[in-house]
Amino acid sequence: MSDYKERNENEIFTKVLKAGRRTYFFDVRETKAGDYYLTITESKKNFGENGEATFEKHKIYLYKEDFASFREMFNESTDFIIAQKGEDVISEKHDKDFKSRSFTIESDDEVYD
């Protein structure tokens, strides 16, 4: 059986979250023993110098025995962030008036694009 066919045959349920250049896949898969586990994949679209798109992927495998601890730590971490910084996004790149800044090697003067 091909690797592609085997990977897709054990996929039971999928949800997709598109977030700008990133896409998150939440896939429920089946083990050889017939139990389920979750894979969370982050896929980020990048463009090379030639304009060709490539995808950088990172994957987490999460098994049922870890769900409660993972959920607890995830909730604690996200609650901490919201409590400390609120829900508003404060990254410069998310600011509609953001101007890209770069520095020249010869000086520390900022250059705006």
Would the pTM count as exceeding 0.75? no
Query: What is the DSSP code string of 28-90?
Result: EEE-TTS-EEEEEEEEEEEE-TTS-EEEEEEEEEEEGGGHHHHHHHHHHHHHHHHHHH-SS--
Q: What confidence tier does 10 reach under pLDDT thresholds 50, 70, 90?
A: confident
* 47 pLDDT above the threshold of 60: yes
Place of tokens 């409660």: 68
* 41 pLDDT above the threshold of 90: yes
- Whether 46 and 68 have beta carbons less than 8 Å apart is answered as no
Q: Cα–Cα distance between 33 and 20 in angstroms, integer?
A: 37
